[in-house]
Amino acid sequence: MTTSATDFHVFDTTLRDGAQREGVSYSVADKLAVARLLDEIGVGFIEGGWPGALPKDTEFFSRARTELKLQHAQLVAFGSTRKAGVRVEDDPQVRALLDAGTPVVCLVAKSDVRHVREALRTTLEENLAMVADTVAFFVGHGRRVFLDCEHFFDGYATDSDYGVAVLQAAFGAGAEVGVLCDTNGGMLPSGVSRVVTDVRARVSGRLGIHCQDDTGCAVANSLAAVEAGVTHVQGTANGYGERAGNADTFALIGNLVTKMGLPVVPAECLPELQRVSHAIAELANIAPDDHQPFVGASAFAHKAGLHASAIKVSPQLYNHLDPAVVGNDMRILVTEMAGRASVELKGRELGVDLTGQSDAIGRVVDRVKVLEADGWSFEAADASFELLLRGQLPDAPAPLFELESYKTSVEHWGNGVVVSEATVKVHVDGERLISTAEGNGPVNALDNALRQALVNRYPQLADVALADYKVRILGWRGGTSATTRVLIDTTDGVGEWTTVGVHANIVEASWHALVDALTYAVLRRPAAG
Amino acid sequence: MTTSATDFHVFDTTLRDGAQREGVSYSVADKLAVARLLDEIGVGFIEGGWPGALPKDTEFFSRARTELKLQHAQLVAFGSTRKAGVRVEDDPQVRALLDAGTPVVCLVAKSDVRHVREALRTTLEENLAMVADTVAFFVGHGRRVFLDCEHFFDGYATDSDYGVAVLQAAFGAGAEVGVLCDTNGGMLPSGVSRVVTDVRARVSGRLGIHCQDDTGCAVANSLAAVEAGVTHVQGTANGYGERAGNADTFALIGNLVTKMGLPVVPAECLPELQRVSHAIAELANIAPDDHQPFVGASAFAHKAGLHASAIKVSPQLYNHLDPAVVGNDMRILVTEMAGRASVELKGRELGVDLTGQSDAIGRVVDRVKVLEADGWSFEAADASFELLLRGQLPDAPAPLFELESYKTSVEHWGNGVVVSEATVKVHVDGERLISTAEGNGPVNALDNALRQALVNRYPQLADVALADYKVRILGWRGGTSATTRVLIDTTDGVGEWTTVGVHANIVEASWHALVDALTYAVLRRPAAG
Q: What is the mean pLDDT of residues B474-487?
A: 65
Q: Which residue from A minimizes the CA distance to B407?
A: A411
- What is the number of alpha carbons within 13 Å of residue B410 lying toward its C-beta? 28
Cα separation of B49 and B34, whole Å? Answer: 12
Residue % of chain A over a pLDDT of 70: 92
Confidence at B375, pLDDT banded by 50, 70, 90: confident
Residues B140 and B13 in one domain: yes
B472 and A470 within 8 Å at the Cβ level: the answer is yes
Tell me which of B284, B316, B346 is where a domain ends. B284
Domain membership of residue A233 (yes or no) is yes
Arithmetic mean of pLDDT over chain A: 90
Does pLDDT of B201 surpass 60? Answer: yes
Please write down the long-range contacts of A19-24, taking CB distance under 8 Å and 24 or more positions apart: A19/A49, A19/A240, A20/A241, A20/A242, A20/B303, A21/A240, A21/A241, A21/A242, A21/A245, A21/A284, A21/B291, A22/A242, A22/B290, A22/B298, A22/B301, A22/B303, A22/B332, A23/A286, A24/A240, A24/A284, A24/A285, A24/A286
Q: What is the mean pLDDT of residues A343-353?
A: 83
State pTM to two decimals. 0.75
B476 and A467 within 8 Å at the Cβ level: the answer is yes
Distance from CA of A506 to the nearest CA of B (A): 6
Residues A201 and A350 in one domain: no
Residue type for position A154: D
Confidence at B63, pLDDT banded by 50, 70, 90: very high
Highest mean pLDDT, choosing among A231-235, A279-283, A289-293, A354-358: A231-235
What is the domain-level CATH number for residue B223?
3.20.20.70
Give me the phi and psi of B25, to 5 degrees please. Answer: -150, 100
Taking only the tens place, the pLDDT of each residue in B240-282 is 999 999 999 999 999 999 999 999 999 999 999 999 998 899 8
Domain membership of residue A502 (yes or no) is yes
Residues B273 and B406 in one domain: no
| pLDDT for A1 | 35
Q: What is the mean pLDDT of residues B162-169?
A: 98
Taking only the tens place, the pLDDT of each residue in A471-488 is 877 754 444 457 888 888
Domain membership of residue A253 (yes or no) is yes
Confidence at B480, pLDDT banded by 50, 70, 90: very low
Query: Which of B408, B505, B510 should be substituted to probe chain A, the one whose Cβ sees the most A Cβ atoms within 10 Å?
Result: B505
Nearest by CB: B405 against A214, A319, A413: A413
| pLDDT for B2 | 37
Q: What is the mean pLDDT of residues A325-331?
A: 80
Nearest by CB: A380 against B23, B505, B506: B23
Contacts of B115 in chain A (CB under 8 A): 317
| pLDDT for B312 | 59
Nearest by CB: B473 against A300, A407, A468: A468
H/E segment holding residue A466: strand A465-474
ipTM of the complex: 0.75
- Any A CB within 8 A of B405 CB: yes
Residues A204 and A246 in one domain: yes
B471 and A471 within 8 Å at the Cβ level: the answer is yes
Does pLDDT of A326 surpass 60? Answer: yes
Q: How far is CA A369 from CA A338, A386, B24, B171, in A?
A: 8, 15, 18, 41
Confidence at A346, pLDDT banded by 50, 70, 90: confident
A119 and B440 within 8 Å at the Cβ level: the answer is no
The helix, strand and coil proportions of chain A, stated in percent and rounded to the nearest 5, come to 45, 20, 35
Contact assessment for residue A379 and residue A334, using Cβ atoms and an 8 Å cutoff: yes
Taking only the tens place, the pLDDT of each residue in B123-164 is 999 999 999 999 999 999 999 999 999 999 999 999 999 999
Residues A351 and A496 in one domain: no
Distance from CA of A69 to the nearest CA of B (A): 32
Domain membership of residue A296 (yes or no) is no
Q: Which residue from A minimizes the CA distance to B247?
A: A216
Torsion angle of C-alpha atoms B518, B522, B524, B526, degrees rounded to 10: 180
Query: Which of B32, B112, B320, B326 should be substituted to probe chain A, the one whose Cβ sees the most A Cβ atoms within 10 Å?
Result: B320
Confidence at A333, pLDDT banded by 50, 70, 90: low
Does pLDDT of A435 surpass 60? Answer: yes
Please indicate whether residue A75 or residue A285 has the higher confidence score (pLDDT).
A75
- For residues A185-224, one letter each, b for 16 or more C-beta atoms within 10 angstroms of the residue's C-beta and e for the rest, the string is bbbbbbbbbebbeebeeebebbbbbbbbbbbbbbbbbbbb
Residue-range definition of the domain harbouring residue B88: 7-284
Cα separation of B12 and B114, whole Å? Answer: 28
A375 — alpha (psi -120 to 50), left (phi > 0) or beta?
left
Q: What is the mean pLDDT of residues A86-97?
A: 96
Arithmetic mean of pLDDT over chain B: 90
| pLDDT for A466 | 84
Please indicate whether residue A410 or residue A4 has the higher confidence score (pLDDT).
A410
Residues A345 and A451 in one domain: no
Contacts of A465 in chain B (CB under 8 A): 478-479
| pLDDT for B468 | 79
Q: How many distinct structural domains can be found in chain A?
A: 3
Contacts of A296 in chain B (CB under 8 A): 243-244
- Any A CB within 8 A of B48 CB: no
- Any A CB within 8 A of B409 CB: yes
Residues A97 and A218 in one domain: yes
Lowest pLDDT segment from A192-201, B253-262, B464-473: B464-473
| pLDDT for A309 | 62
| pLDDT for B461 | 94
- Any B CB within 8 A of A290 CB: yes
Lowest pLDDT segment from A366-375, B269-278, B296-305, B388-397: B296-305
Tell me which of B284, B317, B349 is where a domain ends. B284
Angle, in degrees to the nearest 10, between helices B273-284 and B28-40: 170
H/E segment holding residue A333: strand A332-333
Distance from CA of A358 to the nearest CA of B (A): 25
Q: Which residue from A minimizes the CA distance to B296?
A: A244
What is the domain-level CATH number for residue B448?
3.30.160.270
Q: Which residue from B minimizes the CA distance to A113?
A: B317
Domain membership of residue A469 (yes or no) is yes
- Any A CB within 8 A of B140 CB: no
| pLDDT for A436 | 98
Does pLDDT of B4 surpass 60? Answer: no
| pLDDT for B305 | 41
| pLDDT for B355 | 87
Q: What is the mean pLDDT of residues B311-330?
A: 81
Residues A340 and A466 in one domain: no
Lowest pLDDT segment from A10-24, A190-204, A226-240, A410-424: A10-24
Q: How far is CA B23 from CA A290, B271, B285, in A?
A: 11, 29, 9
Confidence at B166, pLDDT banded by 50, 70, 90: very high
| pLDDT for A283 | 76
Q: What is the mean pLDDT of residues A400-404?
A: 96
Does pLDDT of A373 surpass 80? Answer: no
| pLDDT for B282 | 81
Domain membership of residue A193 (yes or no) is yes
Confidence at B477, pLDDT banded by 50, 70, 90: very low
Domain membership of residue B384 (yes or no) is no
Residue type for position B107: L
Contacts of A443 in chain B (CB under 8 A): 506
Does pLDDT of B409 surpass 60? Answer: yes
Tell me which of A344, A365, A391 is where a domain ends. A391
Q: What is the mean pLDDT of residues B179-207?
A: 97
Residues A17 and A111 in one domain: yes
| pLDDT for B313 | 67
Q: What is the mean pLDDT of residues B93-122?
A: 96
Please indicate whether residue A218 or residue B347 has the higher confidence score (pLDDT).
A218
| pLDDT for A337 | 45
Does pLDDT of A50 surpass 80? Answer: yes
Residues A223 and A330 in one domain: no
| pLDDT for A524 | 87
Q: What is the mean pLDDT of residues A375-396?
A: 86
Lowest pLDDT segment from A215-219, B182-186, B383-387: B383-387
Does pLDDT of A380 surpass 80? Answer: no
- Chain A segment 241-260 residues within 8 A of B by beta carbon are 242-245, 248, 251, 254-255, 259-260
| pLDDT for B475 | 60
Residues A412 and A483 in one domain: yes
- Chain A segment 164-193 residues within 8 A of B by beta carbon are 184-186, 188-190
Residue type for position B164: V
Residues A255 and A347 in one domain: no
Domain membership of residue B443 (yes or no) is yes
Nearest by CB: B310 against A119, A223, A302: A119
- Any B CB within 8 A of A17 CB: no
Contact assessment for residue A375 and residue A475, using Cβ atoms and an 8 Å cutoff: yes
